[in-house]
Amino acid sequence: MKIGVLGAGSWGVALTTLLSGNGHDVTVWSIDKEEVKMLDTEREHKTKLAGVKLDDSVKVTNDIKEAIEGAKLLVFVVPSPFIRSTAKAAAPYVTSEQVLVNVSKGIEEATLMTLTDVIEDEIKGATVGVLSGPSHAEEVGRRMPTTVVAGAKSKEIAELIQDVFMSDFFRVYTSPDVLGIELGGALKNVIALAAGIGDGLGCGDNAKAALITRGIAEITRLGVKMGGQMSTFGGLSGIGDLIVTCASQHSRNRRAGYLMGQGKSYKEAMDEVKMVVEGVYSAKAALALSKKYDVEMPIVEMINKILFEDYDCRECMRLLLTRMKTSESKDFIWDEK
């Protein structure tokens, strides 16, 4: 199958190697001419995914039209703040027969739209699915075992995405819950900032486990209220992605949080990480959604205070621990007999 990959960062390159390894004819596009030149000549992203080589069959281009025309499948893999501009640039060349797959994670701050909604907003009538789960580029690029979930409104499209991406090291499940998959993938980045901050403060494994567990509770409360399925948040794009992003050495969100816990501002942390830290861009949107849907999300609230109100990290941890006493779940009912 001919496939266009829109975005040539670490995740774009990792997926390009996966897809070309599956026998597909892949063209990868980047808006950055220097990045295109490096990938075309070195066949490797020296700064973002060193050691992972592109196959000689892979074409690299700075012309988005070239990547799109004739492709059966288009993979959107630019950072979340650039999804709308990329979709707008792609729109004149996309046909109704093409299937679009979003593999980026985030929520658009200005509109509170998920990224598939953003793509559909810019490319009218497009068929858009999603691929998400615990899948660091550093491991996928090196063919390490990975499992994700493909979501689409129709079973046929979800299974098409499954067939295209699945390999002997990259297992793909299917789901109709596109909204739940996207919310899990976006919101976990905000919780990962908190987990990283805890690490930076030296809080230990107990705090990490608490943030992961209470974090997925927050994500699930909001996701279900918005129309997602509860089982999605207990799956790969929910708790699975949250665990890997909160714990992994590869996680840029955890790393940025760690630096903030060590005393750096979020801007200083992002500069040191040297890649887009999606949790910073999703934090305001997550808080706005919690207010819109009247869902309590104390971890998300504290992350916003740290990022945008100059609150002290240690004080925010104290505030989380000293909140009003409550039961672990609203579903629990005491037997008063």
Q: Which of these is catalytic: 105, 188, 208, 305?
A: 188
User: Could you tell me which residues come within 8 angstroms of residue 142 by beta carbon, excluding any fewer than 6 positions away?
Assistant: 51, 52
- Please give the Cα distance from 333 to 78 (Å, whole number): 46
Which residue, 186, 185, 145, 181, is CA-closest to 166? 145
Pairing of strands 170-175, 146-151: parallel
Q: Is 153 a catalytic residue?
A: no
For 12, 132, 183, 220, 328, the CA distances from 229, given in Å and listed in that order, are 28, 15, 11, 9, 21
Which residues are known to be catalytic?
Answer: 188
